[in-house]
Structure formats: C-alpha cells, structure tokens
C-alpha cells in the first residue's frame, strides 16, 4: 500500500542508534546525531517545510503546512530515534512472508527461534508478513517503526493534496530509552495544539495513562573484618542490602503485578562486604500511592540508619516522569479523535494504561497533551522482537486518517 514504508524501515533499523545512559551529552551517542541528520535530509527531500535540527536537544522537527481554509487544530506526531540496551550493531532483518501462525521461525543461524509455544502473540499474525531479527541483535522497531510510519504518512499527504488537513508537525528525538529524551524538548519550537507519540506495541493500542516513575540509587558503607572475629564488629554491606530489600512488599514486584498495580523493581545489586549498591525503579499509576512508595523506601533507610547509630545507607531518589493522564484527562477529545479514526479504518481500539512511560509523559506536562499510539512492534528490546508489515501500514493509515478527520471536524 505504501511503496517506501518497508524500505524506509529496513534502512532505519540497519543504522545503529543505541542510547547510552552513562553519557553526559545530548544526544547521548554520536550515532543518533548522524541519524538525525539523515532524517533531516529525507524530510527535506519529501517536501516538508521548516526542517531543522536542534543541536541543544537532538530533535529533528519539520512542518507540513495546512492545506485547508478551515481553522483547524494543529497536530504533532513524535517518535524516538534511539534503541534499547541490547546489541544493535549489524542488525540483519529477516522477512517472513505469509506466516502461518504455527511454524517455528529460525532466527538466522543464531540457534534462537520464534515459536508460538513461547510467544503466543505470533498467532495474531496469520497470513501476514513478519520482519524479525537474525537472533544476534534487537530489531529496533521500538521506535523506528514509528519513524517510518510518520515519514511515510507525511510523504503520502504531500503527494495527495486532495486530502485536506490542518498544520501537521513531526519530531524525531533522542534518548527515550534512557528516560531523558524529552527533558530538553522545546515546546516553543513545536507549536501544536496536541500531539501523538507513535511508540506503542500491537495494532489498536491507544494510551493516555502511564506510570508515575522514580529511580532510587542506594549505596551502603559496610565495615569488613576477618569473619573469624566478626561478631558484633562486622557490618556486611551485602547483607545490609538484602535486609533492606526484604523490607519491601514481596508481592509488589513486576513479575507479580499487572494493570494499574505499582511495584518496586530492583534493577541492579552489586558490591562486597565493604561497600554495596542497589538500584530500583519505582512505579505506580496513582500519584498518592506513588508518593507512598517513595516514603516507604525513605522510611526504611532512615530506620536502618537509626539502628546503626550512624548514616551507613545513602538514598538518592529522583522522579523521572508522571502519569500523563493528569493532563490529558482534562480534555479527552484528542483520545476520542484517535479512537474514531481507528474505527473508521477498521481497527479495534485498545485503550489501556501503559505499564511504562513514553516521551509523551513529559511532553504532556510541558503543555502539549500527547497520548501514545501503536507502532506495531512485539517482543521489543531484544532478539525476539518482530513487527508485521501490515501493522506498520495500519499505523501509517491511522496518521493520515487522524489528520483528515481532524480537518473534517473543524
């Protein structure tokens, strides 16, 4: 249906753009800067206006001017350039045409497979064309599917001026996977009434509620002596770390929660008896419960330090993003618009809370309400990632339909 959609996607995923949370630059990697310049050139070539790259925040921004005389609300479409913390070099996509829903897919010669027994979601793609990895890298559908869909939709609208629409803007940004991509987003350079991130999973996803999120970094100073004479003297930092962790609710972890249930998730634990460190992410959809989780961790640390009679445990808590529903629920017309557009083109809307966050979480609080829409990827962030061509085509059609419907409703 869209001639260049697949070729764009394949080109994008073969370009390495992994972000780096240890970096102090924006974007965090030079490969993202290089990719941004490639996208800038392509936006210019397809005929977008006011294309520019912001060196301060790493976003490529472009405009498709309104082609209607109506006073129409302006819309932004956003996707991120970086890929997650998994091997992203030498991505070698496989194309599986007419998948039957039962066969086991060999991922290159890696020895890894995509099996419906392990991944029942494969059965949703009978008769469709799948793009997979070769088992040695991730695919990068998160979020290069979104970039390809937005680029293709803009290209299509430019070549079909009979489709009336208001002003549309696009933004491709860095470092979403490490949670800092939208920190420097400049809303003044993106003057739209509302936006959508094309960064969701399977077809139909429409999300305007995310977690509230914080990160916790804990360091523990122990006192190490010979274990033979350790009684009443040794303070084993690793044991302290375990004691601390065991005071958190055992059932409130990712592997035991779902829906709107929050959690504490230990992301790293390292050290020796002399010194140890623990990292957590803290999540909850409810702001009050979210604050309560932070207070609980703070209380545990304070109590343990009091028992030691000195500060041996240091806690650093940092909020990462908030539930964008606090902003978007004030005017759900933009969710209704996307939902109606889905129905118009035969997609069943799946409106649900995100057990995660998107750039839209931060951009919404910056003043541009930004729900999240599917981009099509499945099993993201690893070697088992795949996307159906048909899913990307539907996402592209949805961008076009939203733009068209928005003009019709003006």
pLDDT given at position 1:
77
Catalytic residue among 176, 378, 385, 393: 176
What is the token pair recorded at 326?
A: 């606090």
pTM of structure: 0.91
pLDDT of residue 179: 86
How far is 165 from 406, CA to CA, in rounded Å?
A: 7
Q: Is the Cβ–Cβ distance between 235 and 312 less than 8 Å?
A: yes
Q: What is the pLDDT along the chain (410 residues), one digit of tens a residue?
A: 788 999 999 999 999 999 998 999 999 999 999 999 999 999 999 999 999 999 999 999 999 999 999 999 999 999 999 999 999 999 999 999 999 999 999 999 999 999 999 999 999 999 999 999 999 999 999 999 999 999 999 999 999 999 999 999 999 999 999 989 999 999 999 999 999 999 999 999 999 999 999 999 999 999 999 999 999 999 999 999 999 999 999 999 999 999 999 999 999 999 999 999 999 999 999 999 999 999 999 999 999 999 999 999 999 999 999 999 999 999 999 999 999 999 999 999 999 998 988 899 999 999 999 999 999 999 999 999 999 999 999 999 999 999 999 999 99
In the prediction, which pLDDT does 356 show? 86
**CATH code of the domain made up of 5-210+323-408:** 3.40.630.10
User: What's the pLDDT at 83?
Assistant: 97
Q: Where are the alpha helices (DSSP H) in 167-314?
A: 237-245, 287-308
How far is the C-alpha of 334 from the C-alpha of 343, rounded, in Å? 14
pLDDT of residue 292: 98
CA distance 316 to 305: 14
pLDDT given at position 358: 86
* Candidate list 16, 82, 149, 359, residue with the active-site label: 82
In CATH terms, is domain 212-321 a member of 3.30.70.360? Answer: yes
Inter-residue contact 164 to 66 (CB < 8 Å): no
Say whether 311 sits in a helix, a strand or coil.
Answer: coil
pLDDT tens per residue, range 268-317:
999 999 999 999 999 999 999 999 999 999 999 999 999 999 999 999 99
CA 126 to chain centre: 27
How far CA 137 is from CA of 63, 87, 268, 379, in Å, comes to: 34, 5, 23, 13
Structure tokens at 17: 């753009």
Q: CATH topology of 5-210+323-408 equal to that of 212-321?
A: no
How many angstroms separate the CA atoms of 208 and 191, rounded? 20
* Token output for 237: 């930092």
Establish how many alpha carbons lie within 13 A of residue 135's alpha carbon, considering only the half-sphere containing its beta carbon.
11
Q: Active-site residue 82, yes or no?
A: yes
For the chain, the domains span: 5-210+323-408, 212-321
Q: What are phi and psi of 161, to 5 degrees?
A: -65, -10
pLDDT of residue 195: 98
176 assigned to active site: yes
Say if CB 385 and CB 377 are below 8 A apart.
Answer: yes
Query: Measuring CA to CA, how many Å separate 92 from each of 19, 110, 183?
Result: 19, 12, 32
Residue for token pair 């993003």: 321
Closest by Cα among 15, 69, 19 to 39: 15
């Amino acid at each position: 249906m869209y001639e260049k959609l697949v070729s764009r996607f394949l080109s994008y995923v073969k370009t390495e753009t992994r972000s780096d949370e240890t970096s102090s630059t924006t974007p965090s990697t030079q490969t993202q800067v290089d990719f941004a310049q490639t996208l800038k050139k392509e936006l210019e070539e397809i005929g977008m206006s006011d294309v520019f790259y912001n060196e301060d925040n790493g976003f490529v921004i472009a405009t498709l001017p309104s082609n209607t005389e109506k006073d129409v609300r302006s819309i932004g479409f956003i996707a991120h350039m970086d890929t997650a913390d998994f091997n992203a070099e030498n991505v070698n996509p496989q194309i599986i045409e007419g998948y039957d829903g039962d066969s086991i897919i060999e991922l290159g010669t890696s020895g890894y497979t995509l099996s419906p027994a392990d991944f029942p979601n494969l059965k949703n793609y009978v008769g469709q064309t799948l793009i997979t990895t070769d088992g040695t890298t991730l695919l990068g559908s998160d979020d290069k599917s979104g970039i390809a869909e937005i680029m293709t939709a803009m290209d299509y609208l430019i070549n079909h001026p009979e489709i009336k629409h208001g002003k549309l803007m696009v933004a491709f940004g860095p470092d979403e996977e490490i949670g800092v991509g939208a920190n420097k987003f400049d809303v003044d350079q993106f003057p739209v009434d509302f936006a959508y991130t094309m960064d969701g999973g399977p077809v139909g996803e429409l999300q305007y509620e995310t977690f509230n999120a914080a990160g916790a970094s804990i360091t523990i100073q122990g006192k190490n002596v010979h274990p033979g004479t350790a009684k009443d003297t040794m303070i084993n930092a690793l044991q302290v770390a375990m004691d601390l962790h065991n005071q958190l609710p055992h059932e409130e972890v990712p592997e035991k929660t779902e829906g709107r249930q929050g959690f504490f998730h230990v992301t790293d634990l390292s050290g020796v008896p002399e010194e140890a460190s623990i990292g957590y992410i803290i999540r909850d959809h409810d702001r009050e419960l979210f604050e309560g989780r932070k207070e609980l961790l703070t209380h545990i640390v304070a109590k343990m330090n009091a028992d030691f009679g000195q500060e041996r445990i240091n806690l650093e808590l940092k909020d990462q993003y908030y539930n964008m529903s606090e902003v978007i629920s004030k005017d759900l017309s933009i969710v209704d618009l996307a939902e109606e557009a889905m129905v118009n083109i035969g997609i069943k809307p799946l409106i649900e809370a995100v057990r995660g966050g998107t750039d839209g979480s931060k951009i919404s609080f910056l003043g541009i309400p930004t729900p999240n829409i599917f981009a099509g990827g499945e099993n993201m962030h690893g070697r088992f990632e795949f996307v159906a061509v048909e899913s990307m085509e539907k996402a592209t059609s949805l961008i076009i339909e939203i733009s068209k419907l928005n003009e019709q409703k003006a």
